[in-house]
Amino acid sequence: MWNQGLTPSPLANSLYPILFFPQADYTLNRLWWCIRLSDFNPKLEEERIVGWLKEQAVAAGVKGAVFGLSGGIDSAVVAALCRKAFGVDVLGVIMPCHSEATDVEHARLVAEAFDIPAKLIKLDGVYDSFLGLLDPDVASQGRRDLAISNLKPRLRMISLYFQANRLNYFVVGTGNKSELTVGYFTKHGDGGVDILPIAHLVKEQVRALAEHLGVPREVIDKPPSAGLWGGQTDEAEMGITYEQLDRYILTGDAINEVKERIEQMKSASEHKRCLPPSLESSG
């Protein structure tokens, strides 16, 4: 067949039912969402972000970038962009903490794919010891409590800043617009960074950029996960899909149930996107 061996893009999959099955229940907003995605130019975006990273580094007086390598698509894209911006003055830190073995494998794949200096810091023992100090009875409570799980990204933040301070590097965050909009990050954890190069991109745009940059296929295709516990996925925890979230961000289109869920998450996480409140001086 003429298309044998070709893999359709996510955009093509989205447009196909609209173009060839017009009787399907698709709104004009969905078509507009697809058009918005089709306007995205990964090559130009790469150049724009790389140039911006260089400018920010000069302004801040830093020499390079340190970032976490989680084995996920966002960290892979950030790693590739930093490598292009700073050359060898980068450090990818792999920080497993009771993590899936495949996540470490995928993190190493990314480091190899982009020739990134990488450092492995196993946080399992530190996490267990710290947890034991905080709550000696925690073993009987299981490990799916959010307060407990949030220790992992906070330990990673400490580890990244230790490396960054020693090297005079930026701590580069991996949050995208989809996650940041609904507060899907840990305060003073993966949210504790110096700079956010993909904060303006929704998840689908990050995927397109990953394809362009040559991120390993295993990383692009895996279900997004914060790795808070075994088998955890972003979409299951949020209760909505990234497609629904991206479409709402770009067009405002969503069924009432999804819209209410997104607005609830936005409202509940507003404190994460702001400086801590303080009493204004009366003087």
CATH classification of the domain holding 257:
3.40.50.620
pLDDT for residue 201 is more than 60: yes
Amino acid, single-letter form, for residue 12: A
- Would residue 16 count as lying in a domain? no
- Would residue 25 count as lying in a domain? no
Domain count, the chain: 1
- Would residue 26 count as lying in a domain? no
pLDDT for residue 279 is more than 80: yes
Distance CA 82, CA 143 (A): 34
pLDDT for residue 1 is more than 50: no
How does residue 254 score in pLDDT terms, banded at 50, 70 and 90? very high
Condensed to tens digits (0 to 9), the pLDDT of residues 90-128 reads: 999 999 999 999 999 999 999 999 999 999 999 999 999
How does residue 8 score in pLDDT terms, banded at 50, 70 and 90? very low
- Would residue 243 count as lying in a domain? yes
How does residue 132 score in pLDDT terms, banded at 50, 70 and 90? confident
- Would residue 266 count as lying in a domain? yes
Instruction: Determine the pLDDT at residue 32.
Output: 52
Domain boundaries, position 79: 42-270
Instruction: Tell me how far CA of residue 81 lies from CA of 25, 62, 78, 178, in angstroms.
Output: 39, 16, 5, 19
Distance CA 99, CA 10 (A): 29
- Would residue 228 count as lying in a domain? yes
Taking the model in full, what pTM does it have? 0.84
- Would residue 258 count as lying in a domain? yes
50 Cβ contact list (under 8 Å, min separation 6): 81, 84, 85
Condensed to tens digits (0 to 9), the pLDDT of residues 10-19 reads: 444 444 343 4
Q: Is 138 helix (H, G, I), strand (E, B) or coil?
A: helix
Of 136, 127, 134, the closest CA to residue 156 belongs to 127
- Would residue 178 count as lying in a domain? yes
